[in-house]
Structure 1
Amino acid sequence: MSDVMTQALGEFIGTFILVVLGDGVVAGVSLNKTKAQGAGWNAIAIGWGLAVTLGVYASSYLGPAHLNPAVTIGFAAIGKFPWADVPIFIIAQVAGAFLGAVLVWLQYLPHWQETKDQAAILGTFATGPAIRKPAANLFSEFFGTVILVFGLLAFTRGKWTEGLNPIGVGLLITAIGYSLGGTTGYAINPARDFGPRLAHAVLPIANKGESDWGYSWIPIVGPILGGIVGAVLFNVLP
């Protein structure tokens, strides 16, 4: 297997784990008759932070463990990743996210039938705004991703004890979730939103409604722009 394919496999595995654990915690909190039902935003923010940490740990031996097209594109924009490898990374990330969402559906299979709230079902897979204002929603996704990518690059300059960087990444995701995530659900990752949204659209999920494709461009465009700006801002520092 070529080096780029090995790294892409890492992106697939890491993003799969990220979505299984991240969407899984949302399902546990949101669906009816689970033991975690109603655990709330604390469980979601911490659960997503742990999901990212463990996704990075599980895949970083294979490659850079971006697990996010916004990170891949942002790094490429400042010369820290080859543009030629961007498409295969994004395909692997989206595929991993899609499969992760399929496994969440299977894990919670009896609970979809027990849940009548279509918005809660979609929210298990993909993000949506608390208040639907496209310009504000786009800024939220943009700004959260600026903080994410700037922070990731800052970690590369710090003197971390070997092996602890993924924990720092997970803490950063948790902080973004608590501080900035209440507006749109903080996708800050096009693959994390698009792959599961596609799974929601094609899977025979009981009681599901529309997949809200009219909103879907925001968690794609906002994070990509934010990833580029966050990377460029960091790159101008001494």
Structure 2
Amino acid sequence: MPRSGENAGVTKVAAPSTRHTRRWPASLAVIVVLALQVAVPAQIMDAPRWIMPTLGALLLLPLVWTNPFHLKRDEPWLRWIELALLAVLVLVNAVYLTGLILLLSEGDASDGKVLVKSALLIWVTNVVAFAVWYWEVDRGGPFARMPEHEHQEERPDLLFPQMTVDIPGWQGWIPGFTDYLFVAFTAATAFSPTDTMPLTARLKTLMGIQSAISLLTIAIVAARAINVL
């Protein structure tokens, strides 16, 4: 039996959080976006609806297979597949937006439901795609951000509020995918940074592109849809 007061003064150290190693939130967000592609209106894309979900699923499958729930296996080819998936999402979304703008310019946009559905699909895909971009780019990616990484990059691409204050319980904080999803959401709604600042040129470029897509979708397409309705 331990004597009374034997453990006095001993401070328990909390186990390190593994939220920054979770992969399933990013995979789930991409799966939702791929599922939404089957609902793209035929007026803005003539190609079969199954092409985009099938291509995205083929690229996502090896990522989920190697790291289904947490990030444990780091391979260079996995990062290239991730970047290829993101490039496909952004490119296809740009095709959707171009098709929608052409539909508006031709004067055939008389169905408000089609416009609203298209704008919502483009906006959601924009948020998720760039959230994964930020997650993959910041400090070299999720694997490089791990404290145990041998070549961890010290210079962050995004400055989160938790990194600027000294609050008990937040020491050594590392962002997870949901943090990057929130950054992408606020950039798509405010068209600019809010609480998290981009520090590097690559993040400023990505955020500028995302904000431009969101502004074009909401200010032009959605506004026309409201007028039609």
Question: Greater share of helix residues, 1 or 2?
Answer: 1
TM normalised by structure 2 equals 0.33
Give TM-score scaled by structure 1 length: 0.32
Greater RCO between the two (CA within 8 Å, min separation 6)?
A: 1
Larger Rg: 2
